[in-house]
Every structure is written in C-alpha cells, then in structure tokens.
Structure 1
Amino acid sequence: MSVLLIEAFYGGSHKQLMDLINEEIEGCVLYTLTAKKWHWRARTAALYFMQAILPDDKYRVLFTSSVLNLAELAVLRPDLGKLKKILYFHENQLIYPVQKTQERDFQYGYNQILSCLVADIVVFNSAFNMESFLTSIKTFLKKIPDHRPKNLEEIIRPKCCVLYFPMTFPDISQFLPEHKRVSHTLADNMSSMDISHCPKTSLQAENMSVEFSHDQIQSSIGESSAEQERATISEKNICASGDPVILNASNTLAGDIRQKKPLHIVWPHRWEHDKDPETFFKVLLKLKEKELTFHVSVLGETFTDVPDIFSEARITLGSSVLHWGYLASKDDYLQALCMADVVVSTAKHEFFGVAMLEAVHCGCYPLCPKSLVYPEIFPAVYLYSSPEQLYRKLENFCKRPDVARRFHLSPSKNDCPVCTDPRGLAKNEPGLMHLISFKRKLKGKSYN
C-alpha cells in the first residue's frame, strides 16, 4: 500500500503527526508546504499540490490535515480524488476566535466543510474538536444570505471519529532536577503506558489534596515563607541583550531548597491572540504587584504578527524572566520544561494541547481553563473557571512552591474510558488499518 501524505502547514503538531506516520508506516510519500502565512496556505495550497504531486498509480490512501481544501484538490486532480481520502482535524475554523470578523473569515470554515463532504473518513484529535465542529455547522452557514444548504451535519457525522493525537514521550531523565527525579517517576512509567489516544481521566493525581485554600496557606507558611524571601537564586536571570537563558539541569532542587526557590511558571504556547497571552500576563503582573516572588519562562513559536503584549510584558516582568522565546532545539525545550514547576494555559482556542501534555510529562503541574478540550484530558482539580481563580492558584503556589513540586500526574491506560481499538475505524477497509491506527504510535508499541 502506498500512502500519500499532504501537509499544507508543515510545522508544530502538524509536522509531528506527519513525521510520525511517515516514519512508522511503510510506503508513505510526503508532500509539504512550510508553516508560514497560514491564511494563504488555506487559500492556495490545493493549487500548489495539484502541480507538485507526481502521478503514481500505486497510491491507495490520501491523508491530509484540514488546512488543505481537499475538495479543490480532488477536482483539480481527479486521480487523487479517487483515493481513499482521510482528513485529520488538528483544529476547526467554525469556532476560531478572530480578533476582527471579516467576510473572508467565512471561507476558512466553509473550506473545511467542503473537505469533509469529499473525504471518506474525517478524524478529529478530540471529542471536543469533533462536537464543536459538527454542532456549529448549521449556525455557521446562517451567514449565507439565502439558499443555504441543509442537513450537512447529518451527512458528515457518520464519517467522523475521534483519534487522539499520537504523542511520543522522550526520555527526559537527563534534564530532571533532583526533586523531580525523587518524586516524579513519570519518565520511567511512560514506556509501559499509553496516553496517545486515551486522555479522558487518564491523568491521575497521586495526591488530590493539592486543592488548598488561601486560609490554609496563610496558616502553614510561617517560617518557610521567610526562608523563601531570603533564598538566593542560582540561575541567571534574563540577559540585558534579550538572549534566552537555558537553565542548567545540574542546578537541582532538593530538601529545603524545594521550598526556598521561587515558583517557576512556564507558558509554552504559540505567541498568538487565540492563546490569550493578555490574560496570562495580566495574572502575572498582579502577582508581581502583590510582591510575590516567581520566575517565568515564555516559550512557543512566533509567526508574522506577534501581539504587542509580549514586548510590554517582557519589560514589566524584568528579572522574573528566566527564558523568553522559541527554542528550536527539542532538547533545550524539554530541559526548560523540566526546570519549571507549573505550566499554564489561558487558551481560547485549543482542541488537544500537545504543549500542556509535554510539560506534564516533564513534571509540571498543569493549570488549564475549565473549557475547550481540557476537561476531556485533565481531572477537575487542575482546571480553573476564571482569571481570578487562576490568580489565586498561582498566588498559593508562589507562597508554597513546594506544594506544586510535590505532585505529578501519571497517565493510566487502565482508567481511560475512551480507549478503543483504533483499528476499528478501518475494520472494513483492508490495508487502511495501517494508516488509521497510526501503527506503533509510540515507538516500539503496536496494537495487536
């Protein structure tokens, strides 16, 4: 079987997925466009691939993400339109939170609906992604002045299924500080656990008593708080030149230092408005106004338009910043995550959250909105309902960082109710099983 892989936005999780499939499944041919100018990729990629993809009668399956207008490509290249077409949704545009609504914004969601209509199988990376897309079709199409199509949800839904993003978790033992090596055994457990397609309640807290109150914190801080204020920090702060500072994993935390060192918060998301950096920095600045001590690392990719809040926040946060900017090296990125205590999401638009799960794998305590995909992945104790609640949680952790460092999450395949045999998607399609199941999602594992 020969599989044609097409990715119109070859970066981030889109690249991770295509690379994994290409590596693990024999007979793949990969065509890509670089991850630049997303809007232009969504508009014009089909025309490019029409010319770029060489004819080959060995192709049996076409796999692509929803950035590509599959309907256009199928018409422009009838030979490709005849293949078994699988469409994977990393995100959907029907509920995308745009800064300013314009008529052209309609086209991106409309293209995804058309792609679903010509696809044979439509795969979503979470139940939230699938349901938010399908249930929004009717409302979305009301923007059409007249002669609106009907019953498209009913036509598309039978093609749809959920297949959680197949993540691989590398060995991070070399990057872990001492306190995580002692209390956090997730790296050792990952080899025998599968979180790749079963996030529902699969992240179990070893101790759920972390949900403490402000009064409890005040009564228990005592001498520890005073010691924390007197503590010296061994890592260097951000350079005056703005160059990123990579934390050294040899600067370990152990014993009393676990309490003395300031809380280290990490934000590992794209520098775009849909990740709501404004709320994140507003909360951090409030912590700073209250004279609470913390460190922060702001990671994630940047694209053409970076929200102004980033340059403003970097100046205001000053010496609280340990790292600022994208880390091209995966090892450097993992090392930065391993040195952090708490990972925060303030996203308005999230359908899986690879960065959050990577940070959890590195021993970070997650704080996520009680919305979007997060309730599908994380137990309620790790969710917050408002910016004020996020502030209170971080305030408590700033006063008692040892509490955040005491807990970690463990993926548990046995407690995952949505775990199903992914081969079921292809049970009536001989040969297609190899692709749909993302064979050997985690290196060395197969679903037999």
Structure 2
Amino acid sequence: MSVLLIEAFYGGSHKQLMDLLKEEIEGCVLYGLPAKKWHWRARTAALYFMQTIPPNDNYRILFASSVLNLAELVALRPDLGKLKKILYFHENQLVYPVQKNQERDFQYGYNQILSCLVADTVVFNSAFNMESFLTSICKFLKMIPDHRPKDLERIIRPKCQVLYFPIRFPDISRFMPDHKRLLQKMTDYKSDCDSTPCTGLPFQSQSRTAAKSMDSCLGEQHMEQNVPEKAVPPSEDLHDLKSSVRGNTYDEDARHVICNPSTTLGVIGDQQRPLHIVWPHRWEHDKDPESFFKILLKLQEKELPFHVSVLGETFTDVPDLFSETRITLGSSVLHWGYLPSKDDYFQTLCVADVVISTAKHEFFGVAMLEAVYCGCYPLCPKSLVYPEIFSAEYLYSTPEQLLKKLQNFCKRPEIVRKHLFQGDIARFSWAALRGRFRSLLTAEPRKDL
C-alpha cells in the first residue's frame, strides 16, 4: 500500500469518490468516519485519525477531503506530515450559505485555509469552487479583529488545480423507456452520419442541428417505421397509477414514502403521461427545497398535471416542510425519500422527464449529471457551478423563470421527451478522468528515506 485515503465525512459524493479510488487505484487504504454531525467531524476528526491510523512506512501519499483539518493531523502525526499531501475540495466553507451567522462558524473556513497551507497539492472539483474559495480568502479573514495574515491567496494559488469529480456511469439500458431509447438511437445515427466519434454516453448530440439532420440521415420512411405512437406500455388509466402510488407505505418516523419504482414507471401512454419532475438532492436548507416546493404548489394551484419524485439523502434533522408538502401534493407524488438501491435510483431517473436544482450551494452536482445521463432535461440556477457545466438553455435566473418553463413543460411534456441534450457529460466520467487521478496519486519516493 502506498496511498492513504482519509475521509472525515464518509457519505454521499465523498464516499463515492473514496470508494472509486480505492477500487481503481492500486495500493490504496481507506480510513473514514460515518457521514453524521458534519460540524463535529470538521472539528474533531484529526484527533480521531491520529489514534486510529497505525504508522506504516509504506505510505507515500495522503489524500483527504477538505472536511479534515489537515494542519491538525500532520501536527499530531509528524510521520503523516512527511507524505505528499493532497487535499480535495468537494465544497468550500468560505461561501457556504449559513442560516444563522455565528462567530464560531469562522472555524470551518479557517480550518480549510490552514489545510491548504500545509498541503502539497490542492484539488477542486470545479473552477467555480476554486475561484470562489481563493478570491474569498481576503474578505473572510477580515473577520479577524486585528493582526490579520496577508497574501494567503498568493501562497495557496500555485498549489491549486481543477479536477472534476469522476462519475462512474452505470449501464442503465434495462431501465430506459422507449422514447429515450429512440433518442439514443438518433444520437448514434447522427454520430454515424457525421463520422463523429461516439462519446459512449446516451442522450448527447454533437450539435443543435442533430435533430434536424435526422431525416436526411435516416430517411423519412425509416423514421416513421421506428417511432412508436406510445413510448411505454399502455395501462387502464391514470387512476390506476395514482392508486398504486397511494398504496405504497408511508414511514411516519422517517417521513418518507417508500415506493417500488416498478409500480410507478411509465405505465400509461406517453402522450397521456404527466410530466415527471425529479429533485434528487440532500434534504437540507442549502439545496433550497422550500423554493422547489413553492413552484410545485403553484403548478398544483394552476391545475397543471405533473408527477414528482423527491429523492436524496437525509441526515439527523429533516425539515417539517418535507412531510407537510408531501401530504399537500397527494397523488402527484411518485417517490418520496432516499432510495438506497442504486438500481431503484437510476430506474427512477430513467423514467423522469425533468431534473431540477434550486440549490444555493453547489460546487459540482453529481445528482444533476446522473439525471442528465439518464435522459432528464436539466433546469438549474444561472449561478454557482452550473454555468460551467450546462449551456444557457438549461439555466434560469429567477423562480418565476423556472415556474414559466415548468408550466410549458406540464402543458407539453413531449418538448422534453423529444429533446436531445446539448452538451458533453462524458468529460465528467471516470473513463475520461482516470488518467489524471492516476497521475495525481502516483507514488513518488520520499526524500527522507
């Protein structure tokens, strides 16, 4: 073993990255703490790992997320301080939207600055993450009453680089409804006609002219033969679908509706099926569920048909807003709560039409990209990391703009069901990023040996 992986908050995307590196990079050993009580992990994880990680002369590289106070750990364990220390930022605390600003919260951003100073390499999952952190250092340190440190951005910046979060996209072909399979075929035909190398990921077109060129590429007769009138098997009626949703169990303690995706997938004709909206984010204030729910309730007031799946992980405290809104939305709800099974999760994304973000705090957005991979049309704020990843047509500036787009989609869901995503998500795949991560974690001889 030569690479020591340390994760003070072993859950969500943090866990996803560490598990991927441990599996794919030879010589990795992983130490982690459960993803609970984030603030306490940031305060005390260094002391825990000081006692837990046994000395080992074979280590050459230490790779940790920025939840860990790296400065404390290397002070407590000088042997680990001699390693090549790589710090990975999933998020940064300098621009975190706290609900109530308290002086004690200064410590979290301060810890990250100290960690950067002792790290050899600092890696961010997006350019937005890196620039928002570096350019906020000076302003952040002005909270110190006097004797403020200077030039820390100048010291830290040369160590920094951007390396996107690597997503290992699974095989989802068995979950795909017919209309999305057709889009994939159209993209494949487009690639063949253009002699453009295929990215290997579904639902991506090489240009906006993709759909327009289909007729010339395939021939009108061929298109007519392959486009089904209904993209999913018919059912008796919409009432049956809603009844099946209402029949699923409701866990009062967890405040979740646990649904079996196979009972709620596209079981009625594509032309009749309401727009299916998915919100796959953590149930916390920084993802702004309140704004999302307000939009849904306005759609309901306007008597526009839609279905909704509210997914994402929950932690110790779940806002009452979730259980209250779930009751108000009633039979519009298809799924409500975290789906621990990856198959169930991706199956739900595959039958959804639109994926929404209302986040106030997002530095990459794995869930959004996974949903796009499954053929969902993304709608994101025109801020944070999203303009770095998505083109302008998928961005909105105000809640009113989001509402207007969803109103149109509810009235004409075929707009999104026939849409070819304009962008390249292959660049965020593990296949594309593997080489850079391998280079980053390549063991180098220690000079002290």
TM class by shorter-chain length? 0.7 to 0.9
Aligned pairs for 1:266-305 within 5 A? 266-305=278-317
> Residue 366 of structure 1 aligns to a residue in which SS?
strand
Query: Is contact 2:187-2:205 (8 Å) kept?
Result: no
Mean alpha-carbon deviation: is it higher for 424-433 or for 403-412? 424-433
Letter in 2 for 1:110: Y
Shift of 1:203: 8.7
Describe the superposition over 1:104-143 as per-residue Cα deviations: whole angstroms up to 9, x where unpaired: 1110000000000000000000000000000000000010
| Equivalent position of 2:259 in the other structure | 245
2:369 aligned with 1:331, yes or no? no
Distance 1:394 1:304, change over 3 A: same
| Equivalent position of 2:4 in the other structure | 4
Query: Is contact 1:178-1:253 (8 Å) kept?
Result: no
Separation in structure 2 between the aligned mates of residue 147 and residue 401 of structure 1, nearest angstrom: 59
Query: Is contact 2:130-2:162 (8 Å) kept?
Result: yes
> Residue 347 of structure 1 aligns to a residue in which SS?
coil
Separation in structure 1 between the aligned mates of residue 126 and residue 206 of structure 2, nearest angstrom: 15
| Equivalent position of 1:61 in the other structure | 61
Structure 1 residue runs without a partner (length 5+): 196-200, 210-229, 434-448
2:150 aligned with 1:150, yes or no? yes
Distance 1:245 1:129, change over 3 A: same
| Equivalent position of 1:232 in the other structure | 238
Shift of 1:232: 2.4
Shift of 1:249: 8.0
Separation in structure 2 between the aligned mates of residue 366 and residue 60 of structure 1, nearest angstrom: 41
> Residue 260 of structure 1 aligns to a residue in which SS?
coil
> Residue 270 of structure 2 aligns to a residue in which SS?
helix
Identity of aligned residues (%): 70
2:357 aligned with 1:349, yes or no? no
Aligned pairs for 1:129-208 within 5 A? 129-185=129-185, 193=199
Separation in structure 2 between the aligned mates of residue 406 and residue 121 of structure 1, nearest angstrom: 44
> Residue 59 of structure 1 aligns to a residue in which SS?
coil
> Residue 56 of structure 1 aligns to a residue in which SS?
coil
> Residue 317 of structure 2 aligns to a residue in which SS?
coil
Describe the superposition over 1:383-442 as per-residue Cα deviations: whole angstroms up to 9, x where unpaired: 0110000000000000001111111326548999xx998867998996459xxxxxxxxx
Letter in 1 for 2:315: F
Separation in structure 1 between the aligned mates of residue 71 and residue 265 of structure 2, nearest angstrom: 54
Query: Is contact 1:194-1:412 (8 Å) kept?
Result: no
| Equivalent position of 1:397 in the other structure | 409
Letter in 1 for 2:346: L
Shift of 1:177: 1.4
Aligned pairs for 1:82-161 within 5 A? 82-161=82-161
Please give the TM-score of this superposition, normalised by the length of structure 1: 0.83
Query: Is contact 1:238-1:244 (8 Å) kept?
Result: no
Distance 1:414 1:58, change over 3 A: closer
Query: Is contact 2:49-2:73 (8 Å) kept?
Result: yes
| Equivalent position of 1:14 in the other structure | 14
Letter in 2 for 1:232: L
| Equivalent position of 2:44 in the other structure | 44
Separation in structure 1 between the aligned mates of residue 162 and residue 147 of structure 2, nearest angstrom: 32
Letter in 2 for 1:403: I
Distance 1:41 1:204, change over 3 A: farther
Distance 1:160 1:425, change over 3 A: farther
Separation in structure 1 between the aligned mates of residue 142 and residue 95 of structure 2, nearest angstrom: 14
> Residue 94 of structure 1 aligns to a residue in which SS?
helix
2:314 aligned with 1:308, yes or no? no
Shift of 1:162: 0.1
> Residue 104 of structure 1 aligns to a residue in which SS?
helix
Distance 1:339 1:160, change over 3 A: same
> Residue 307 of structure 2 aligns to a residue in which SS?
strand
Structure 2 residue runs without a partner (length 5+): 192-196, 213-235, 251-256
Query: Is contact 1:6-1:65 (8 Å) kept?
Result: yes
Shift of 1:238: 3.6
Shift of 1:287: 0.4
Query: Is contact 2:264-2:334 (8 Å) kept?
Result: no
Distance 1:358 1:156, change over 3 A: same
Separation in structure 2 between the aligned mates of residue 165 and residue 147 of structure 1, nearest angstrom: 37
Separation in structure 1 between the aligned mates of residue 427 and residue 17 of structure 2, nearest angstrom: 25
2:270 aligned with 1:258, yes or no? yes
Mean alpha-carbon deviation: is it higher for 164-173 or for 175-184? 175-184
2:384 aligned with 1:376, yes or no? no
Query: Is contact 2:248-2:258 (8 Å) kept?
Result: no
Shift of 1:307: 1.9
> Residue 9 of structure 1 aligns to a residue in which SS?
strand
2:408 aligned with 1:408, yes or no? no
Please give the TM-score of this superposition, normalised by the length of structure 2: 0.83
Letter in 2 for 1:270: R
Structure 1 vs Structure 2 CA RMSD: 3.0
Number of residues of Structure 1 aligned to a counterpart in Structure 2: 403
> Residue 368 of structure 2 aligns to a residue in which SS?
helix
Shift of 1:308: 2.3
Distance 1:18 1:396, change over 3 A: same
Letter in 2 for 1:246: N
